[in-house]
Structure 1
Amino acid sequence: MRTLIIDDERLARNELKRLLEPYMKIEIIGEAANADEALPLIESLQPELLFLDIQMPGKNGFELLTAIEGKAPEVIFTTAYDEYAIKAFEFNALDYLLKPIDQDRLKDAINRIEENQVAPELPAEVNERAGKVLNENDQVFVKDGEKCWFVKLEKIRLFESMGNYVRLHFDDQKPLVLKSLNNLEERLDSNTYFRANRKHIINLHWIDKIEPWFSGGLLVTLHGGDKIEISRRQAIRFKELMSL
């Protein structure tokens, strides 16, 4: 995996590079000391994995992830503080390693990456259905706890990332499904469903109002009252998509 190391301590970066040497699948393509250095590297190099410190000068690790526009890489947090663990997994982190990094814990984290990359073999007809792009006329089965729905996609106005889950907004229901927003984005018809920012995909047919917003972004109001910010970068794509 193409990997960036982001940590304000040079010695910590060097130590992590040393620990990662035995893992041939980890290709370190760059390093950064802070968010300002990291963001242009992420945009230009398109890494698949970040080893990311949390407490850094300027933007912290969480703020850096929030600032990434478009599809974010996988993340393993590396930090000297254990109080951020819950918040880390709200950001869909693969793992959370405490400094000084233990070689066995690092091995577990690498194994977790490999497990996530291995897909179970399914019958051909199941694979074909799983790879099908879903449009507004498709119906999907949704289960949250004891409740179940068979809902037409055109009724879902908003998909909201909640850590390892996605919250679906339709009618007055807001069930959670165990999916990542990135995986859902790959399955949804891009002519109808638009990635507004790191946390939200909106149904374009549900847009009620559009307003200019901070830093060149847009604020859209959906029928039903949800207000969603379209990031500056995505606002450019949005205008291109919606213009004559």
Structure 2
Amino acid sequence: MIKAVIIDDEVNAQDLLEKTLLRYFPNKFNIVEKCHSVDSGVQAIRQYEPDLVFLDIQMPEKNGFELFKYFEAINFEVIFTTAYNQFAIKAIKRSALDYLLKPINHLDLAEAIKRFECKNEGSTAQKKLSLLLENLNVNDQKVSKIAFPTVEGFELIHSNQILYCKAESNYCCIKKIDGITRTATKTLKYVEEILPAGAFIRIHKSFVINLNFVVRYHKANKEVELTNGEKLPVSFRKEEDFLNAILQNH
């Protein structure tokens, strides 16, 4: 069974999550403790050493992210729960971590648990949570590393190493400036949302490019040329946004 701790200041939210887990995943979870604060959560984690922690982000005294400063090593996986806070969600996505929006849907919960069962490794959690805390402390334009989910796990890539991203069905190919291509197990839309908005722009339904590596634009052919010599199509609908972004970026 999966040993789990629920940390949420709202008793109703705790009970709803517990009931959903027991109803849709019978005999799979052992909820060893339900906590209403970061401090009580820290005590429960130290006492029970859970496999998984459901952690609310917004709590009155300390927010959920403060929990990690009490542990030298993170030996548990985390699924964040939140009702809002777009900035936090973006940082969580960039760290290849899971989150659930309240009220929690059992289908979303099932997907998160499926991913947990595939990646249940403490060292992986440590790396991703370290990246999350790093991303929370910088603004959008200074994000250094992003964790992209892959078939094997995840890959850390500096955003300034990305030349462009290309849609490949439900996956996304990430072309780096060193010529290496990595495949993320996410859609181009998902990847576009976690890239720094000022540096990256969608130029076509299949391409998001890094504006810092644009060499020239061929208006007649509606093609953008990048520093590696590749030419990518610019769709008619995206042309104006692309040209405006180039002017603002330079």
Give the TM-score normalised by the residue count of structure 1: 0.47
Structure holding more helix per residue = 2
> Which one has the largest radius of gyration?
2
